[in-house]
Amino acid sequence: MEKDAKTRFFWSRERDFTFKTCLRQYFFRYYAGLSPQTGGPRDKEIAILHRLNHRQDWANEQVQRIIRAVLESGNPPPAADILVQELLTAMRADFRDSRNGLYRQAGNASKGLFEHEYQLKVPDHIWKENADRAEDAVRRFLESETLKWILALPPEARLESPKGVEFILDGLPVRVRPGFAFRRDDRIELVHWRMESPLQLDDIESAGRVLYAASKWNVSLEKIQLVDVELSTGEEHRHAVDEDALNFAKEYIHDSADEMQFPLDDPETNTAAEDNFDTTEDDAPCRRCPYLKVCPKWT
Ligand code: SF4
């Protein structure tokens, strides 16, 4: 029988980062609180903590939602002020719901803010800056040269816009976020809009996107172009991944997956015991860890 997507093993760059940051956080994120209906109180608590977002990630999610709606509509975008109004209205509603603890109510699957859950004292001007950054990103997206060339493409050039996809790399399920895919001239272009500033491109993540595109559209490497757009400036960064970098990434991904499977009770069934995943000795990651209140290092 096909295993539930939540409990099947897969590799992703995000999973790799979490594994390297703290083994216990990795356990909480990928092996705990996955069946809160049948689990005990701690499972239910962890399931709630899974849905916490830091304010910067939340702003990014809201911006990505607007970008997705524009690109998927296939129509010319509405005026910037209309989209910004929509963004800010949604952010205000999310903020209010999170502050009121809606994400903790039974049957409510909404997300909450880490800052509210842990009662961090965040001054109003910091929240305002977060919203301003999101507003600037939406305006920059609408003004960008990248959006202009995308809108000029014929509808059949738009290939797909998945949030995340899974593909098989030499037998290993791998999840990537390839970006919006377009056919442009004789190339496949994968476009990511990014709020990180300054932009730091990750070679392994880039290789994962290329590996996915090569397997999906059966095209050679030189026909795949990655386009990362910095939303703080509107600048478009074009880059490709060569054969050597791709081979390095393949080896890295398989080694990383092997390391992740080492502490499991049973790699076949992807089952794990909490005690096999140590807490980190470094306190820095704990300050941003959503699982802090259930972590034995602090309780
Ligand atoms: S609170 Fe710290 S030690 Fe505990 S899971 Fe989170 S990062 Fe790891």
135 and 161 co-located in one domain: no
Q: How far apart are CA 92 and CA 114, in angstroms?
A: 16
Q: How far apart are CA 225 and CA 188, in angstroms?
A: 6
Q: Which two tokens stand for residue 84?
A: 């910004």
140 and 155 co-located in one domain: no
What is the per-residue pLDDT for 205?
97
Within a domain: residue 9? no
**Chain-centre distance of CA 44, in angstroms?**
23
106 and 29 co-located in one domain: yes
The pTM is what? 0.93
Per-residue pLDDT tens, the chain, 299 aa: give them: 445 666 899 999 999 999 999 999 999 999 999 887 778 999 999 999 999 999 999 999 999 999 999 999 988 999 999 999 999 999 999 999 999 999 999 788 899 999 999 999 999 999 999 999 999 999 999 999 999 999 999 999 999 888 899 999 999 999 999 999 999 988 999 999 999 888 889 999 999 999 999 999 999 999 999 999 999 998 999 999 999 999 999 999 999 999 999 999 999 999 999 999 999 999 999 999 999 999 999 98
What is the per-residue pLDDT for 106?
78
Within a domain: residue 263? no
What is the per-residue pLDDT for 230?
95
Residue 284 CA, ligand 1 centroid: distance in Å? 9
Within a domain: residue 276? no
Tokens 């014929």, residue?
154
What is the per-residue pLDDT for 1?
40
36 and 115 co-located in one domain: yes
137 and 59 co-located in one domain: yes
Ligand 1 atom nearest to 28, measured from its CA: 5
Nearest CA to ligand 1 atom 7: 286
Within a domain: residue 157? yes
Within a domain: residue 1? no
Question: Which of 279, 283, 288, 298 is the pocket-test mutation for ligand 1 (most atoms within 8 Å of CB)?
Answer: 279
CATH of the domain at 210: 3.40.1350
Within a domain: residue 106? yes
Within a domain: residue 268? no
240 and 164 co-located in one domain: yes
Could you give the number of structural domains in the chain?
Answer: 2
Q: How far apart are CA 215 and CA 213, in angstroms?
A: 5
200 and 135 co-located in one domain: no
121 and 28 co-located in one domain: yes
The domain containing residue 222 runs over which residues? 150-253
Per DSSP bridges, beta strands 180-184 and 187-194 are antiparallel
Nearest CA to ligand 1 atom 3: 279
Adjacent-strand bridge partners of 184: 187
Residue 27 CA, ligand 1 centroid: distance in Å? 10
77 and 120 co-located in one domain: yes
| ∠ Cα 139 145 149 (to 5°) | 120
What is the per-residue pLDDT for 165?
94
Residue 148 CA, ligand 1 centroid: distance in Å? 44
What is the per-residue pLDDT for 28?
97
Residue 29 CA, ligand 1 centroid: distance in Å? 11
124 and 169 co-located in one domain: no
178 and 194 co-located in one domain: yes
54 and 124 co-located in one domain: yes
Within a domain: residue 247? yes
DSSP string, 66-135: HHHHHHHH-SPPPPHHHHHHHHHHHHHHHHHHHHTTGGGSTT----EEHHHHTT----HHHHHHHHHHHH
Q: How far apart are CA 147 and CA 141, in angstroms?
A: 7
